[in-house]
Amino acid sequence: MEREGTKATTAKRKESEMSVFSKAYLVLYNGVQTAGWGYLLFNTVKFLIEKQTVVGLWPECKTTVAIFQTLACLEVVHCMIGIVPSSALVTFMQVFSRVFMVWAILIPVKEAQDAPSLAVTFIAWGITEVVRYSYYATNLLGCSPGFLTWCRYSLFLGLYPMGVAGEMGNILYALNPIWRRRLFNIALPNKFNISFNFYYACIILMLTYVPVFPELFNHMRRQRKKILGGGSENKPEKKST
């Protein structure tokens, strides 16, 4: 009995230590993301005010957006290993479209880099992520101010559609160059006996916004009602990535 008690105590201590480590890691992760997206948002707004054009915005911000958008892939891992109590599938859906936008559209297609929709995308992403990551970081520390909570669950009403419009605009600007260059296409014959047309894949991806966007948007509306709607359900969100 004494050995079992000792094992239980040791297990609880290890679990507590892991919880402290996970919290410290998540605070660091969300803090780094807040700083990164804040830097991107500042550079975007500064460039647009000074230059009065979107041409040249991509070279100014490409490294920052590539680093911090790719870093968001860790959020799927956080859900999978259980340090964040959220759906890995929903998180993957939220992360995938943006990572795809950076690495499959903006980086390889120069025409998309000069699209007016790029500025819309960066501003929507920047504001959304600064608010989201700073909310998670302060929530973990137990000091999230009321105005930040309101911003987290209210600004998405405008920023989410704005971000989707920007992303779709970027893809539209990229479609013709993708078709002309046969970008990322896999033609037959080949040893795997498969073919792939990236142009049509992009069109299919755009069509998926039709069912996916309302689902994710309504998910956020439900969260907003839960957090800001008052009553016994008005509790801070537990998610931390």
**Catalytic residue ranges:** 160, 167
Reading the block at residue 148, the tokens are: 């930040």
Q: How many Cα atoms within 13 Å fall on the side-chain side of residue 200?
A: 5
Go through 106-144 and write b for each residue having 16 or more CB atoms within 10 A of its CB, e for each that does not.
Answer: bebbeebbebebbbbbbbbbbbbbbbbbbbbbbbbeeeb
Separation of alpha carbons 118 and 167, rounded Å: 8
Separation of alpha carbons 187 and 76, rounded Å: 32
Judge contact between 33 and 90, C-beta under 8 A: no
CA nearest neighbour of 236 among 134, 144, 118:
144
The region that residue 237 occupies, defined by phi over 0 for left and psi between -120 and 50 for alpha, beta otherwise, is beta
Residues belonging to the chain: 241
Note the helical H segments in the chain.
2-51, 57-71, 74-81, 88-100, 110-113, 116-140, 146-152, 156-181, 198-228
Q: How many Cα atoms within 13 Å fall on the side-chain side of residue 43?
A: 18
